[in-house]
Chains A and B, each alone.
Chain A
Amino acid sequence: MKNLIKSTLALLSIILIFGSCGKGEKQSDGLLASNAAEKVYVKPGELDEYYAFVSGGFSGQLSVYGLPSGRLFKVIPVFSVDPEKAWGFNEETKPMLNTSHGFIPWDDSHHPDISQTAGELDGRWIFINGNNTPRIAKIDLTTFETTEIIEIPNSAGNHSSSFVTENTEYVVAGTRFSVPVPQKDMPIKEYKGNFKGALSFISVEPKHGKMNLEFQILMPGFNYDLAHPGRGASHGWFFYTTYNTEEANSLLEVNASQNNVDYIAAINWKKAEEYVKAGKGKKMPTNYAHNVYDENTHTATSTMKKEVLVLDPAELPGLVYFLPTPKSPHGCDVDPSGEYIVGSGKLSANVTVHSFSKMLKAIENKKFSGTAYNIPILKAEEVLAGVVEQAGLGPLHTEFDDKGNAYTTFFITSEVVKWKLKTWEVVDRKPAYYSVGHLMIPGGNSRKPTGKYLLAMNKITKDRYLPTGPEVTQSAQLFDISGEKMELLLDFPTIGEPHYAAGIHKDVIMKNSKKYFDLKNNKHEFVAKSEAETKVVRKGKDVHVYMTAIRSHFAPDNIEGIKVGDRVFFHVTNLEQDYDVPHGFAIIGANNSELLIMPGQTETLVWEPKQVGIWPFYCSDFCSALHQEMQGYVRVSPANSTIKLSWSLGE
């Protein structure tokens, strides 16, 4: 009996041993995970290989991460106010957020795109669109600051934006909502045939990057969703996806999903330039803001522009063609060669790929199936390059690597699918957590994509991070795409909704990164370039304080003669000329924010004292060992006081 028990136990233990051996997979999982950890680990003191500029969605910002670590370096305020940097709060940057609707401190930032030269990322500027109050911003990648914002007239929901042509000749904008052009009071139901969709071409001056709205193409009243430029042979063309070709004005989830086929609009912008030159454009009155920040005056100015040149594709042959594309296409992506235009029908299971060379041939041979508002519709079979069949459900966006592969996100099936150009076969698929929207491969929208990393940007995260109440973090996921199969390396949180991103190798950017502003070149109206130049000047109720900051004091730091009802302008110049030595300026009761002043820069905070008393100010950025001593007082006297203005330091 004992023997029987013993042998049963022995048998059981053998089963247990073999059973646990059967779970060997778990072990290889562990190996894989440690391998992934090594791939994203950037040792202390070492640098990431890529910059990733990730849109902040409804935060209106643009955030800067390192890849592969996923570490956040900077949040650049664009269409937002930022009390940390005084963006939108100090006098210098308030004009940046001016629009025809007045001061708009928020927007929905969507699609960053880095400037290009000869089809490759040159890392000079990054552009991003404001979706809500249509705007395009330019961020200077030497300072990582927004230096220009142009409002887009005749538009609403600036979604198919902001993508650049291969020499940054243009950054384009496109309207998601069609609207009456010009705007007028009319019944919404009369939308069909009366509303227009404006596609805007904004030139970028090659040396300084100054933007100018050159012309708009007034398209039929569809919704223009996304866009990408042609490149190589297709340079000179721009491609836009459309939905709601039904021209519905209500319950679009049903009414705009009725047509089996919508279009990709192929715009010949070189032809548009010819028409403009030939005087075929019409000048129409309008009103939009153009805001420019000057690096030498450290000050922005806002100018209202009153006119825009429009082109009517119904009257101008050869300007626009429609490529039939199934089921409300969303993403519109052009491969590195410029031959393939990928349309992702978001209600479809297939990905449709058009051929640029076939399109040219079809145009030449007039293979049209009809017209829409006098714009030729090309025959679908004449322009089709291929279809990625049953790849997933809800394709949204596609990017490319350097080995002839394409990667498409599928929102509904929540996955990234890798497929081959030309053969259209699916090679690999990996789940994304969860509901992936855009994806980004550094250089993926250029002639020279890289083949190392893919960043998937997800719409929801659910259980992927520690819960933080009903609102949980937004998220990106990093994949290694260097092998045949993709490998998930890292989840990391992002700010706002990461709609799209642009990635670039560190070497292109970091060598140009500015360390401080040269004090000698500071042309701010109220600069004090030394403590000898500091002063306080009264002009009626406005008091201008020409103040300096240097480790570890302000000059002056005692001010008397301010009265209740005054508007005090603190123009603070940071006299430092060393890397990473900003000074802050904070004063009690300020209704705006602090200042964060870079070395060599001047910034202005308006303070309106409402109470009599002695009120302190201090440096809010830990600058030095005696940072805590960097402080001062303002004496505020009653409105009828006769105390004279006086100021001092160290007396």
Chain B
Amino acid sequence: MKKSKIYMILGSLLLLFLFVFPLWNITLEAPQYPEPLAMDIWINKVTDHNPNDIKNINLMNHYIGMKDVPTDLKEFEIFPIVIIVMAILGVLIGFIGRRKLYVTWGIVMLLLGIVGMYDFYLWLYDYGHNLNPQAAIKIPGQGYMPPLLGSKSILNFNAISLPMAGAYFMIVGIILSFVAFFQAKKETK
């Protein structure tokens, strides 16, 4: 089999690691938490980083009127289907072996990634700003939106938001589809 095909197929299959590793992680550090609270965001769920972390994040956040961390977003149903479809398509494209399809797949994945990040941003914004007006602690002008990427200090917490292994596999997968494109170009010469 040609190298380009292998890259393309491998790249598409790397998407499946999104079901093995979390995509993103939000960690909350505070003096009272020598072991920080953290949640792992997967393509299809949000989970405790350590047992009961989400319960304890919710407990903290109810004082400032934040909603519970949602565990049944509709994204968790749609995203996995998109990823599986894209992985199957990618493998098929690999077998077909047309390099223009490689790059198309890569661009579509990139666009999907951007849409996903935007969706994530909207969710974070809502999570951080849609507050219960009866909250015990109200600080005018204070938002509690965790950062999309990087760290941010929110009251006594330092919130850190970083991609995890699943995201890296996806990025490498997309890069591989472009590598396949250039490799295929070389192979036709």
Which chain A residues have a beta carbon within 8 Å of chain B's beta carbons? 550-551, 576-579, 624-626, 629
Tell yes or no: B139 within 8 A of A by CB: no
Contact A551 B59, beta carbon cutoff 8 Å:
yes
User: In residues 22-79 of chain B, which contact A (Cβ within 8 Å)?
Assistant: 35, 51-52, 55-56, 59, 63
Contact A550 B63, beta carbon cutoff 8 Å:
no
Contact B59 A550, beta carbon cutoff 8 Å:
yes
User: What are the 7 closest A-B residue pairs judged by CB atoms, nearest first?
Assistant: A577-B52, A578-B56, A551-B59, A577-B55, A626-B136, A578-B52, A625-B63
Contacts of A626 in B (CB 8 A): 63, 136
Contact A577 B136, beta carbon cutoff 8 Å:
no
Distance to closest chain A CB from B139 (angstroms): 13
Distance to closest chain B CB from A575 (angstroms): 9
Residue of B nearest to A629 (CB): B136
Ordered by A's residue number, 19 sampled pairs between the chains whose C-beta atoms are within 8 Å are A550-B59, A551-B59, A576-B59, A577-B51, A577-B52, A577-B55, A577-B56, A578-B52, A578-B55, A578-B56, A578-B59, A579-B35, A624-B63, A625-B63, A625-B136, A625-B137, A626-B63, A626-B136, A629-B136
How far apart are the CA atoms of A579 and B63 in the complex, in Å?
A: 19
How far apart are the CA atoms of A494 and B161 in the complex, in Å?
A: 48
Besides A550-B59, A576-B59, A578-B59, 4 new A-B residue pairs in contact (Cβ under 8 A), listed by A number: A577-B55, A577-B56, A625-B63, A626-B136
Residue of A nearest to B137 (CB): A625
Q: Tell me what chain A mostly uses at the interface: helix, strand, loop, or mixed.
A: loop
Contacts of A624 in B (CB 8 A): 63
Looking at A551, A578, A579, A626, the one whose CB has the most chain B CB atoms below 10 A away is: A578
Contacts of B59 in A (CB 8 A): 550-551, 576, 578
Contacts of A578 in B (CB 8 A): 52, 55-56, 59
How far apart are the CA atoms of A106 and B51 in the complex, in Å?
A: 39
How far apart are the CA atoms of A384 and B93 in the complex, in Å?
A: 91
Distance to closest chain B CB from A641 (angstroms): 34
Looking at B51, B52, B56, the one whose CB has the most chain A CB atoms below 10 A away is: B52
Looking at B55, B59, B136, B137, the one whose CB has the most chain A CB atoms below 10 A away is: B59
Contacts of B51 in A (CB 8 A): 577
Distance to closest chain A CB from B58 (angstroms): 11
Distance to closest chain A CB from B136 (angstroms): 6
Distance to closest chain B CB from A552 (angstroms): 8
Q: What 1/0 flags go to B166-178 for Cβ under 8 Å of A? A: 0000000000000
Distance to closest chain A CB from B180 (angstroms): 48
How far apart are the CA atoms of A629 and B137 in the complex, in Å?
A: 13
Contacts of B136 in A (CB 8 A): 625-626, 629
Distance to closest chain B CB from A44 (angstroms): 14
Contacts of A625 in B (CB 8 A): 63, 136-137
User: In residues 98-141 of chain B, which contact A (Cβ within 8 Å)?
Assistant: 136-137
Distance to closest chain A CB from B61 (angstroms): 11
Distance to closest chain A CB from B48 (angstroms): 10
Residue of A nearest to B37 (CB): A578
User: In residues 150-174 of chain B, which contact A (Cβ within 8 Å)?
Assistant: none
Residue of B nearest to A624 (CB): B63
How far apart are the CA atoms of A624 and B137 in the complex, in Å?
A: 13
Contacts of B137 in A (CB 8 A): 625
How far apart are the CA atoms of A132 and B103 in the complex, in Å?
A: 86
How far apart are the CA atoms of A626 and B51 in the complex, in Å?
A: 25
How far apart are the CA atoms of A626 and B35 in the complex, in Å?
A: 23
Distance to closest chain A CB from B79 (angstroms): 29
How far apart are the CA atoms of A624 and B56 in the complex, in Å?
A: 13
Contacts of A576 in B (CB 8 A): 59
Residue of B nearest to A578 (CB): B56
Contacts of B56 in A (CB 8 A): 577-578
Contacts of B52 in A (CB 8 A): 577-578
How far apart are the CA atoms of A184 and B154 in the complex, in Å?
A: 74
